[in-house]
Amino acid sequence: MKSIDIQKLLRVDPSQASTYDLPVFPKVIKLDANESPYELPADIMRQIFQSLEQARLNRYPDPSYWELRQMAAKEWGWPAEQILPGNGSDELIQAIIVTFGGAGKTVFVPDPSFAMYRIIAKSMGENVEEIPLSDDFDLALSDLWRERMYSLSQAGHLIFLAVPNNPTGNCFSRLAVEEIIEQFPGIVCIDEAYVDFADSNYLDLLPKHPNLIILRTLSKIGLAGIRMGFLLAGPVIIQHINRVKLPYNINILSETVAKVALSQKEAIKPSIAQIKQNRDWLYEQMKNIGAVRVYPSSANFLLFKVRSLEAEKFFEQLLAEGILVRGFSSQGRLRGHFRVTVGTREECECFLNGLKKILSSA
């Protein structure tokens, strides 16, 4: 058998790429992945099962996903022709980078922010530049960074801004985001994965800016399992991303469920309101614990730091209490920080009790 060094055939030097590894711990209160703790109301589930009975699994889906796009259009007030569904917004982030990245291009991402921007870009060999956020995790651009970002040629550079940002939970100042949309000589992608838990969005800027992309997802409002994201942009961007996107990227099962969910968004809203209420309650409770620094959040999670406790030990101790959160122990800027997803009120209470117990025995 001939010998081939597979490493030499790789597109990207593996030392430059990283993976999104999430540990799996059965039988814990799962507060690590920013999912909704609430299942869909029984009535919606019944409608979903009825619709699934009609789904023709022997056929490919409608390649244009026209009905689904029309329902998304109604929900967000943007033309169906200018909306693309994706297999989660992760797939759309990849499609954006495939379309607009490439040799000599730079993908800008704030630091800290959603890890997948970097991971996906790096997996394709892109040059990634991290824009350091200020101490309160805002986009406070120095003249140096302005020079670096705005003096690029128009050749398809990219910036991803998650608003609200993950894992910090805050919304960047609108002035800074609008400045970037206007000044950045490339594609600006505003990822609104957590917009349902915030008070504002950037949809109103779409008609004015042909370089703007908005991402939405159903993952955070009770449908993470179906993997359904949406990309909203002007017609030229849509046309080019459509060329890159795989045909039939949404399966019929997910398409069917998403159509029912979008038609019943009103019935999903109470769970969103409940999560916001739980978040504000949990924030207040955590703020009153001296050894904890918790950051305000416009999303469905809270970033926090436990002073005077070794991060890895704290993670293990919380796990022993049956609670899984997301730790950032190995990441420079967020070393010692954790992100807890807002669960049901009971789950939040369990987390809080676990936290207090660990602190009292420290």
Residues in contact with ligand PLP by CB under 6 A are 34, 88-90, 114, 162, 166, 191, 193, 217, 219, 224, 229
Nearer to ligand PLP, 32 or 359 (CB): 32
CA–CA distance, 41 with 344 (Å, rounded to integer): 15
Residue 300 DSSP label: S
> What is the smallest separation between the CB atom of 89 and ligand PLP, expressed in angstroms?
4
Closer to ligand PLP at the Cβ: 219 or 256?
A: 219
- In contact, 327 and 338? CB cutoff 8 Å: yes
Smaller CB separation from ligand PLP, 265 or 356: 265
Nearest approach, Cβ of 115 to ligand PLP (angstroms)? Answer: 9
In the complex, the smallest distance separating the C-beta of residue 219 from ligand PLP, rounded to whole angstroms, is 3
Q: Of 216 and 354, which has the nearer Cβ to ligand PLP?
A: 216
- 213 - beta bridge partners? 189, 233
Question: Taking the complex as a whole, how short is the minimal distance between the CB of residue 236 and ligand PLP, in angstroms?
Answer: 23
Q: In this structure, what is the dihedral angle of CA atoms 146, 152, 155, 160, given to the nearest 10 degrees?
A: -20
CB of 299 to ligand PLP, least distance (A): 8
Smallest gap, in angstroms, from Cβ of residue 331 to ligand PLP? Answer: 15
Question: Which of residues 171 and 193 has its CB atom nearest to ligand PLP in the complex?
Answer: 193
Which positions ≥6 away from 240 have C-beta within 8 Å? Answer: 99, 100
88 vs 186, beta carbon nearer ligand PLP: 88
Alpha helix (H) ranges present in the chain? Answer: 6-9, 42-54, 66-76, 88-100, 115-123, 143-150, 174-183, 235-244, 252-263, 265-287, 311-320, 345-360
CB nearest ligand PLP: which residue? 88
Question: Cis bond leading into 112, ω under 30°?
Answer: yes
Nearer to ligand PLP, 32 or 126 (CB): 32
**Least Cβ distance, residue 52 to ligand PLP (angstroms):** 21
Question: Smallest Cα–Cα separation from 96: which of 185, 187, 33?
Answer: 187
Number of continuous H segments (helices) and E segments (strands) in the chain:
12, 13
Distance (Å, whole) CA 21 – CA 32 = 12
CA-to-CA separations, 251 to 54, 121, 223, 224, 254, in angstroms, rounded: 14, 25, 15, 15, 6
